[in-house]
Amino acid sequence: MEQVAADIGMEFVFSKIAVPRGRGKVERFFRSVDQLFLQDVSGYSPKGYPDAEATLTLPAFEQRFRTWLLEDYHHLVHGETGFIPKDRWEVGGFVPRMPSSLERLDLLLLTVAKIRRVQQDGIHFQNHRYMDITLASFVKEEVLIRFDPADMGEVHVFYQDRFLCRAICAELSDRKVTLKEIEQAHTARRKQVRAELSTREAMVNRYVEMHHAPPPAPKTVVVEPAPVEVSRPMQLRVDRKLVTLIKNALRIRRQERRLANAS
């Protein structure tokens, strides 16, 4: 509110709490609303009376208050001035300070602002796609979007502090969907997914406990060392040497016998 007041050249003057002397006109209007409007609204419970059950939704109450203000209150003759509020306002010639354009007014009133990057298929926000033909020239550029939380059917797009276009969401343009409703839907979906995951995890754990047997203990296998065998070629060489020695010994023995017989 302070930023909006600064943009249109207006100054906020705050009064002290519990000291109504600095805001007499405001307090008198609140009293008129209390006496002329709220007493006829079902579910209204003034101070000092027992609580009543609420029967109106906020949109229904807003519509009823708007009808009373425009069609009833503004046409009642004031006891001191002798004029109805509508005629007194028009005679006074007061012109309120307004922004230079309607786009500037939207920039001031739609205070919820977010930075988004323009994609090939538009602007993605809250799992919805907002599109306008003007955005085709600003792909991959960062823009500022402003929106009314009570109506998410469109967003106002600004580029470098300049109004660019109104981007429309085809899914929400035919009906008003508030930001609170979208967030509630996202929260409900997350809770549903968590519940499904928890259920599946419990089923898997139960199945493992019932059907999955513990693995058998590993058996200890003692491996004996293999005997060292002499290769066959080596054994053949050893046998041949032994035969040669025996033959030489026999030959020497025969020679000795011959010499002994000769003597």
pLDDT, tens digit (0-9, with 9 covering 90-100), for 106-122? 666 666 778 899 988 88
Mean predicted lDDT score pLDDT of the chain: 77
Residue 117 belongs to a domain: yes
pLDDT value for 67:
92
Sorted by sequence, the CB contacts under 8 Å of residue 31 that are 6+ apart come out as none
Residue 260 belongs to a domain: no
Greatest pairwise CA separation for the chain in angstroms? 184
Does residue 35 have a pLDDT over 70?
yes
pLDDT, tens digit (0-9, with 9 covering 90-100), for 172-202? 776 554 556 656 666 776 788 788 888 888 8
173 shares a domain with 135: yes
Does residue 88 have a pLDDT over 70?
yes
Q: Are residues 169 and 132 in contact, defined by beta-carbon separation less than 8 angstroms? A: no
Residue that has been written with the tokens 């967003």 in this structure? 155
pLDDT value for 214:
61
Residue 247 belongs to a domain: no
Q: Which domain holds residue 139?
A: 102-177
52 shares a domain with 14: yes
pLDDT value for 65:
92
72 shares a domain with 49: yes
39 shares a domain with 109: no
Does residue 204 have a pLDDT over 70?
yes
Residue 154 belongs to a domain: yes
Sorted by sequence, the CB contacts under 8 Å of residue 32 that are 6+ apart come out as 73
- Nearest CA among 1, 31, 4 for reference residue 14: 1
Indicate the residue among 74, 92, 110 that finishes a domain: 92
127 shares a domain with 169: yes
pLDDT value for 158:
87
156 shares a domain with 83: no
Cα torsion through 24, 30, 31, 33, rounded to 10: 150
- Letter for the amino acid at 199? T
pLDDT, tens digit (0-9, with 9 covering 90-100), for 218-235? 666 656 665 555 455 555
When pLDDT is averaged across residues 150-164 and rounded to a whole number, the result is 83
171 shares a domain with 113: yes
Residue 242 belongs to a domain: no
C-alpha separations of 100 from 70, 108, 112, 178 in Å: 26, 11, 21, 29
pLDDT value for 3:
60
Counting Cβ atoms within 10 Å, is residue 145 exposed (0-12), middle (13-18) or buried (19+)? buried
- Letter for the amino acid at 1? M
Q: Specify the length of the chain in residues.
A: 263
Indicate the residue among 92, 110, 138 that finishes a domain: 92
pLDDT value for 103:
64
183 shares a domain with 169: no
Which two three-digit tokens encode residue 212?
């999955």
In what helix (H) or strand (E) does residue 157 lie, and over which residues does it extend? strand 151-159
pLDDT value for 46:
79
167 shares a domain with 132: yes
Of 256 and 34, the structure prediction assigns the larger pLDDT to 34
pTM of whole model > 0.75? no
Here the CATH number for the domain that contains residue 140 is 2.30.30.130
Residue 32 belongs to a domain: yes
- The domain tally of the chain equals 3
87 shares a domain with 135: no
Residue 216 belongs to a domain: no
Indicate the residue among 127, 162, 177 that finishes a domain: 177
Residue 196 belongs to a domain: yes
CA-to-CA distance for 124 and 169, rounded, in angstroms?
A: 10
pLDDT value for 177:
47
